[in-house]
């Protein structure tokens, strides 16, 4: 499989080169595209200076838009799968080959790296943990499929889903879209993983923003996914 790692990046100058170097060293067969999401710092200059492929959005558009940009790039160049890979150093590239192998072996549409599976299961603590458990329950209730770690941002999507992300309305790499894709027939599987703490920059999910994200996601799963086309 030809796999493209799409790395959305917003003001990640402190850690982006370390993240990319580790990814390229661990998975030399995986091509990398950084989508610079309107960063105000030197993220784009660092990425381009190091020789990585980079697409820069003129303003900060958010994760869904940045990921869709990467998917359009992958679709136009004939890739077989796209990996959503964080720029902040949380994702361990060693798990990516396992995700690719499992996708090929089981003919899956989505592979999710789950922190809640395996001997070294980490779980998700605090309010985010409670929100993740609620989202998991709602996905199971509305689709019949149980996803242990629906808020994991470490995912691999097959080319069969490229059109949905590239052209669909309000379809992003988020748990509510996973629920909708499952209802459209997408097959989802998880592999155990561990994740590190953020190595630099700031998360867009913190405090009230995190709570608002969980509430919006739950509403989308319960209500709005049913009127999507």
How far apart, in whole angstroms, are the C-alpha atoms of residue 75 and residue 162?
Answer: 7
Rounded distance, CA 183 to CA 180, Å?
Answer: 5
Cα–Cα distance for residue pair 178/83, rounded to 1 Å:
15
Average pLDDT over residues 185-204: 81
Q: What is the pLDDT of residue 227?
A: 72
The DSSP bridge partners found for residue 7 are 34
3-state secondary structure (DSSP) of residue 25: helix
Summarised one tens digit per residue, pLDDT across range 76-123 is 999 999 999 999 999 999 999 999 999 999 999 999 999 998 766 666
The mean-pLDDT minimum among 139-148, 155-164, 208-217 falls in 208-217
Q: What percent of the chain has pLDDT over 90?
A: 74
Quick check: 126 pLDDT over 90?
no
Token duo for residue 71: 């998917």
pLDDT greater than 70 at residue 208: no
Average pLDDT, the chain: 90
Give the DSSP H/E element, type plus range, for residue 181. helix 175-183
Query: How far is Cα 98 from Cα 113, in angstroms, rounded to an integer?
Result: 10
Per-residue pLDDT for 210 more than 80? no
Q: Alpha-carbon distance 160 to 136, whole Å? A: 24
Which domains are delineated in the chain? 3-227 (3.90.550.10)
């Amino acid at each position: 499989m030809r796999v493209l790692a799409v790395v959305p990046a917003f003001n990640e100058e402190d850690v982006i080169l370390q993240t990319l170097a580790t990814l390229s060293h661990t998975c030399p067969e995986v091509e990398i595209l950084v989508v610079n999401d309107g960063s105000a710092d030197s993220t784009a200059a660092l990425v381009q200076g190091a020789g990585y492929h980079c697409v820069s959005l003129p303003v900060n558009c958010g994760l869904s838009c940045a990921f869709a940009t990467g998917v359009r790039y992958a679709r136009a160049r004939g890739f077989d799968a796209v990996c959503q890979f964080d720029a902040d150093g949380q994702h361990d590239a060693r798990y990516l080959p396992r995700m690719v192998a499992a996708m090929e072996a089981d003919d899956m549409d989505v592979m999710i790296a789950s922190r809640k599976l395996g001997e070294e299961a980490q779980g998700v603590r605090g309010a985010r943990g409670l929100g993740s458990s609620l989202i998991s329950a709602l996905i199971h209730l509305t689709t019949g499929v149980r996803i242990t770690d629906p808020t994991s941002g470490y995912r691999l999507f097959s080319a069969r889903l490229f059109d949905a992300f590239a052209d669909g309305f309000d379809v992003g790499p988020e748990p509510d879209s996973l629920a909708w894709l499952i209802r459209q027939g997408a097959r989802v599987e998880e592999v155990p993983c561990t994740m590190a703490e953020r190595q630099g920059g700031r998360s867009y999910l913190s405090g009230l923003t995190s709570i608002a994200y969980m509430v919006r996601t739950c509403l989308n799963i319960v209500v709005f996914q049913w009127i999507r086309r």
